[in-house]
Chain A
Amino acid sequence: MIKLKRVLLLLTLCASAHVFAQDITTGTLSGNFQMDGQYYSPDSLIGADKLDNPYRTQGYMNLIYNWSNFETGFRYENYMEPLLGFDPKWKGSGIPYRYITYRSDVIDVTAGNFYEQFGSGMILRAYEEKMLGVDNNIDGLRVKVRPLGGMEITGLIGRQRDYWDLSTGIVRAGDIKFDVNQLIAGLLSDDYQLSVAGSFVSKFEEDLESFYNLPENVFAYSARASLVTPAFSLDGEWAYKLNDPNATNVNPQNKPSFNPGTGLIVAASVFGDGLGATVNFHRVDNMNFRSERNALGNELTLSYVPPLTRQHTYRLATLYPYATQINGEIGVQAEVNYMLPRGSDWGGEYGTNISVNYSRVHNIDTSANADGFTYQSEFFAFGDKLLFQDFNIEVSRKFSEDFKASMMYINLTYDKDVIENGGAKQFGLVSADFMVLEMLFQLSEQQALRTELSHIWAKNEHKLKSPDNINGNWAMFLAEYTIAPSFYFTLYDEFNYGNEFEERQLHYLNGSFAYLVGTTRMSVGYGRQRGGLLCVGGICRPVPAANGFSLSVSSTF
């Protein structure tokens, strides 16, 4: 009887496999591939030491198969030897990401690894950013249900990726979203789009520590709303996290904070003819939330606060990028974009864009309680410490079919001690002024030349006791010559001629060539790269200075 059952089971499986094999041919396979390699030459002037293994490569490939309502995929990663600036813990290879998802109008179910974000991410943002060496995906189960039009409920449980391992903490989370227009038809006119949502995250982690009563279940919740009209939009989100003593918020007596965490983000925008203006405010206090309380750096983060400052892309302006201080900052940002009309005296034949942006971020105002574990903080009070201030104005104009130009001026104040030095007083505030002139010449239908001339005047508040390769004035020239659609040549030089230390007044000359064919891109480069912070969306990682060859290949299929 048992044998018969086994035969039947085998036949059933074979039949299923046969059906699957037939239908599978109707699916689609897609993916992408990237590999980056670098050869590091020693260069004592920039602090680049001789490495035991100067050849470093890392890469990955995603494969995704879609079939009917199903999607399945995986990613193979290989960090043969991680590039400098990436945590050596990445070293290794394997398949850290694999999943299967079923999707229908009513329900989505995912088993395996997935990324997720609730609202702006203040209590949950599981994401991947290869440039930062961040992959906080969750390995577990996720269900999204849409029981009614305009309503979606998400529930998930799992552990976060921790390099080649998983976090010890378990993440349980839920989110409910309402599109009010769709849910209650006729309540609002079609010109007004209103949505409201609420989320929670509960993290479980054992208390294995000896000295404190630590919460094993940490609960956080948030509520958000968004209203969009033809004339303006208004977005707001509030988040609250119950006591979550963790390694990122420890006072000088080594005592962790038992304060709750709070976060408020408000953004308002108005739109008009050629005019757009935005005002943002946010305040975050003790909102560092991770699936392990002792994780540091960019490891195992659950919470994310979008940056309140403009994210500059010009190379010299990235010398002083602001990293969100998630354990305590309060700030405002305002931005106005205006397009001078085409054909007007000021606007010229093609119109002229002007963008003015201002942001200012302070620490929060706190006073410690006698217990040594908690503090008071007046919610809307700005602390006395300026962390970052940025005033910038950008004008861009198309002068003819063959010539476009833009200019930008930035005035920055940057607390290097807080942002880069863990608060240790060493550099003080950095004051910097930056100017750039960017020009684009269309030489022919296929050929174009883009140039950047930029300069930064920068001064540290405190005289440096030991040399570094960042301080002082810099000048930069960049030229990028393109032969469409396949060839790109880039040459740039950054010159730190104003370094306080004469021997560090160095050129960082770099050249690269890229070739594009279809969806494949190959590039090689050679030269010196300066060190500093690399930031994406207010999250940063330190990058050491380097000298040598680089090679990159990427493809999508």
Chain B
Amino acid sequence: MIMKIKFLLLSVAAIFALASCDRVNAPYEQNPDDTNNTVEVPRKVLLTEFTGMYCTFCPLAADLAKQLKEELYKDKLIILSVHASDLAEPRPPHNLDFRTSEGTEIFTYFSGQTLPAGLIDRTGTTLQTKLLTAPDWDARIKDQLKKSAPLTIKLDAAYDEAEREITADVELEYFNGTSTRDQLSVFIIEDGIIAYQKDNRLDPPDIEDYEHNHMLRASFNGAWGEQVSAAAAPKKGDKVSKQLKFKIPEGKNWNVNKLKVIAFVHDFGGTYEIMQAEEAEVAAGE
């Protein structure tokens, strides 16, 4: 019997040797730390946030994105909100359709199904694992900022009221060679759109005057952009300039004072990862 008890105690001790635990006591919050990485070519990270007006958890994710930008990463984080999926489909009496063909194409390509979900510079080991739930965004952004970018982007955008046209001037400067797969995408986003949104934190869960920000409105060059250089792979020291124009279609009631342009270069057809991103407000033309 004594042998049995000894064996029992030893067994239990052996099992618990595998275990360990951390008990966290208040304060539960810590000061957010943007690690101030010193990399050769700092990058800006693009968070593509998929959302929809009938997605009840999306405002929670949008709040987190806002918190990450305003309290932590500031200008290093660019947010692009893409309304996609059935949850973005207009239903009476909320008839505004914020979906775009480009946004839907990107959402479908990255196996989007549930909302909210986000891409951080479209990073991830496989196509299916690039989409992240909101709580995972922070760690992935942090990771990205530790990496030096192969290029910088200079971006200017201006609006010509008479022509209802936006012009984007993009200058790319390469600090490392990449490949001919590099594509430049340039999107138009709008802040401050007041419209309906569901939010499960409220009772009733309907907000008629929710402020939608960073909303994808259109693309200058399609869902996947255009090739940076068809002739040869960009190499160190290369500079590429592009001017793109977009005429706001008749009937589109966009507030030009709240428009911004986002430009990014990505590895189209390869990893799809975004190598650098930039954002600029649309300046009123002369």
Contacts and interface: CB of A to CB of B under 8 A. Distances in A.
29 contacts: A47-B86, A87-B113, A88-B111, A89-B128, A92-B126, A145-B11, A148-B7, A153-B11, A157-B18, A163-B128, A204-B20, A208-B143, A209-B135, A209-B139, A210-B138, A210-B142, A211-B30, A213-B27, A214-B24, A217-B20, A247-B133, A254-B67, A258-B28, A421-B56, A421-B200, A422-B57, A422-B200, A424-B200, A466-B92
Given A371-B28, A466-B92, A155 B15 contact: yes
Interface string B185-220: 000000000000011110111000000000000000
Nearest to A211: B32
A88 B128 contact: yes
B22 interface: yes
Interface residues on A, range: 35 or more
Contacts of A208: 138-139, 142-143
A394 B114 CA distance: 39
Interface in B50-86: 56-57, 60, 63-64, 67-68, 71-72, 86
A93 B34 CA distance: 39
Contacts of A172: 18-19
A210 B140 CA distance: 11
4 closest residue pairs by CB, A with B:
A219-B21, A208-B139, A174-B15, A424-B200
B28 A213 contact: yes
A120 to B, nearest CB: 20
Interface string B89-100: 001100000000
B21 A294 contact: no
Contacts of A465: 91
A457 to B, nearest CB: 26
Contacts of A183: 4
Contacts, number: 150
Given A148-B7, A258-B24, A424-B205, A213 B30 contact: yes
A242 B25 CA distance: 11
A174 B17 CA distance: 10
A165 B67 contact: no
Contacts of A209: 135, 138-139
B38 interface: no
A261 B55 CA distance: 28
A92 B128 contact: yes
Nearest to A251: B201
B28 A373 contact: yes
Given A165-B126, A243-B24, 15 more contacts: A91-B128, A153-B11, A163-B128, A175-B15, A183-B4, A208-B139, A209-B135, A210-B68, A212-B30, A218-B21, A218-B22, A245-B28, A247-B133, A373-B26, A424-B200
B114 to A, nearest CB: 7
Interface string A190-225: 000000000010101000111111111111000000
A243 to B, nearest CB: 5
Central interface residue in A174, A216, A218, A258, by most chain B CB within 10 Å: A174
Nearest to A89: B128
A176 B67 CA distance: 45
Nearest to A542: B114
A168 to B, nearest CB: 10
Contacts of A204: 20
A418 B205 CA distance: 13
B163 to A, nearest CB: 37
Contacts of A219: 19-21
Given A165-B129, A258-B28, A174 B16 contact: yes
B161 interface: no
Nearest to A175: B15
User: Do most interface residues of chain A lie in helix, strand or loop, or is the interface mixed?
Assistant: loop
Contacts of A15: none
Contact of A215 (B23, B136, B205): B23
Interface residues of B, number: 59
B232 interface: no
B26 A371 contact: yes
Contact of A242 (B21, B33, B64, B108): B21
A250 interface: yes
Contacts of A31: none
Given A87-B113, A163-B129, A424-B205, A247 B200 contact: no
B56 A424 contact: yes
Contacts of B112: 88
Given A153-B11, A155-B15, A254 B60 contact: yes
Given A296-B133, A425-B205, A213 B24 contact: yes
A176 B14 CA distance: 11
A140 to B, nearest CB: 12
A431 interface: no
A392 B104 CA distance: 46
B2 interface: no
A259 to B, nearest CB: 11
Interface string B127-155: 01100011110110011000000000000
A165 B130 CA distance: 12
Contacts of B205: 424-426
A423 interface: yes
A172 B126 CA distance: 27
A125 interface: no
A165 B131 CA distance: 14
A410 to B, nearest CB: 29
Nearest to A426: B205
Contacts of B33: 210
B12 interface: yes
B63 A254 contact: yes
Contacts of B72: 210
**Which of A148, A172, A211 neighbours the largest number of chain B CB atoms within 10 Å of its CB?**
A211
A164 interface: yes
A245 B29 CA distance: 12
A147 interface: yes
Nearest to A220: B21
Given A176-B11, A213-B28, A214-B24, A294 B4 contact: no
